[in-house]
Amino acid sequence: MTIDDATVQRKPDSLPSPWRSSRFRLFFMARSTSLLADGMLMVSLTTAVLGAGYGAGGVGYALAAWMAPIALLVLFGGVLADRFTPQVMMVGADVVRMAAMLALAALLVATDVRLWQIMVLMALSGAATAMFQPGLASMVPQVAEDIQRANALLRISEAISTLIGPGVAGLLVAYWQVSGSFVVIAAAYALSALGLAPLRKLSTVRDDSDDPMFRRLVTGWHEFRSRSWLWGVIAVWAVYGLFVFGPALPLGAALLIEQHGASGYGWIASADGAGTIIGGLLGMRVRPRRPLVAGACAMFFFALNPLAPALGWSFTVTALTGVLAGCGFAFWGVMWATSVQSHIPLAVLSRVYAYDVAGSIMVIPLGRALSGPAAESVGADRVLLFSSVMGIVCIAVMLCVPAIRGLRQAPKVSTGTGDDGGGR
């Protein structure tokens, strides 16, 4: 048992619904609003940069300015979350992101905004995101007894926010102004902070040692490295990100628009989102004894995502493959998050999760950067066909690792957090 020696085991079927916890409801509201803001950000940022006359190159620079601090600072975010508690870091991050979005809105209204100003504010927002992300994993076990169901609900919220966020931003830009969309994004981050603020009374496990930052990073690395199932998944996931996630979005979008038009691509993307919701719902009900095996088997369906545009399948078939791919990806996400949160001690969970985030996302930009030259050399369809094959190979390799294959569902325990009067 890794969460607490004083905990009481409960069978999963006897655990109360996360909705019965006022703490989970607050956390769910905070997470949903921050996800909505993230979903709006890309459309709003792209529109602002293009409207200021900096072209597609400017959009790339602005996105890089946002993503680079996340990749560089997320490990430090994990250390600070374990040191000062995840709730403190996440509230602070939301406040900084809110301020950055309001500053950008003011610049768009008051001046001829410069690209370097946009990049500075996006870098500030990215740095705050790096402080926000690691605490997510260690918050879930403290606000819900049924960790798996809580993760499934959060995955559904993520899917819905991903679907509606760009649309909300598009409507604001079209019928109001781009600066107004950044004001709404800032308001969403403010709501996230307000939802997290009451959770300061959680019985969070803090790292009160006087170790320097480097030593804390090393401790997190030792915890990460000591679990072969953990680093085994992340090693495979890095290859997956380079060869599958990296090329699938830009090349897949280009081919799907060419084959089915912009509106057809929009419906296919919506089908993928619907599949993600279905996968989240399955994650609420299905409790396999070996969660990583079940999740990995579901991820085989994601190989259909790059395969459909590569082979030029019909609109109907492509939409159906989008549903299956989204479902598989969401179910894997629930199984993975629940496994990490159930098997890693709370005192180091944020640091370990930071290594998870860093290993998972750092290679995706490289994969996207290389996908363009590769498509020009051999053709986008062949690159995506290779991505589909690599997706199958990577998941097969994952299932061949004994530690991954043998990891069982951890007995759910009560973390002693209780409720704060909201009923559980």
Choose the weakest-confidence range: 3-7, 22-26, 205-209, 415-419.
3-7
Give the residue-averaged pLDDT of 169-183.
Answer: 89
Report, as an integer, the average pLDDT of 384-402.
97
- Please state, in angstroms and as integers, the Cα–Cα distance from residue 75 to each residue in 9, 310, 351, following that order: 32, 36, 7
Q: Compute the average pLDDT of residues 171-194.
A: 92
> Can you point out the beta strands (E) in 32-137?
none
Q: What pLDDT, on the 0 to 100 scale, is given for residue 257?
A: 87
Is residue 421 over pLDDT 80?
Answer: no
User: In this structure, what token pair is assigned to residue 280?
Assistant: 């989240």
**Radius of gyration of the chain, Cα coordinates, nearest whole angstrom:** 21
| Of 89 and 420, more confident | 89
pTM: 0.83
pLDDT in tens, 223-237: 888 999 999 999 999
Assess whether pLDDT exceeds 60 at residue 423.
Answer: no
Structure confidence at residue 327 as a pLDDT band (50, 70, 90) = very high
How distant, in Å, are the alpha carbons of 44, 53, 182 from that of 176? Answer: 12, 19, 11
Q: Which CATH class is domain 1-199?
A: mainly alpha
CA geometry: angle at 80 spanning 346 and 61, to 5°?
120
Band of residue 81 on the pLDDT scale cut at 50, 70, 90? confident
Distances in Å between the alpha carbon of 333 and those of 35, 152, 276, 319, 329?
16, 8, 10, 21, 6
Instruction: Taking residues 329-350, report their average pLDDT.
Output: 91
Q: In angstroms, rounded to a whole number, what is the distance separating the alpha carbons of residues 275 and 321?
A: 9
Is residue 25 within 8 Å of residue 144, measured between CB atoms? Answer: no
CATH of 213-410, one of 1.20.1250.20, 1.10.260.40, 3.10.20.90, 3.40.50.150: 1.20.1250.20
> Are 1-199 and 213-410 in the same CATH fold?
yes
Q: Does the pLDDT of residue 7 top 80, yes or no?
A: no
Q: For the chain, percent helix, then strand, then coil, each to nearest 5?
A: 80, 0, 15
Domain positions in the chain: 1-199, 213-410
- Give the least confident one: 100-109, 200-209, 252-261: 200-209
Average pLDDT over residues 150-166: 91
310 falls in which pLDDT band (50, 70, 90)?
A: very high
The Cα–Cα gap between 380 and 252 comes to 8
pLDDT at 209: 61
Give the chain's largest Cα–Cα span. Answer: 62
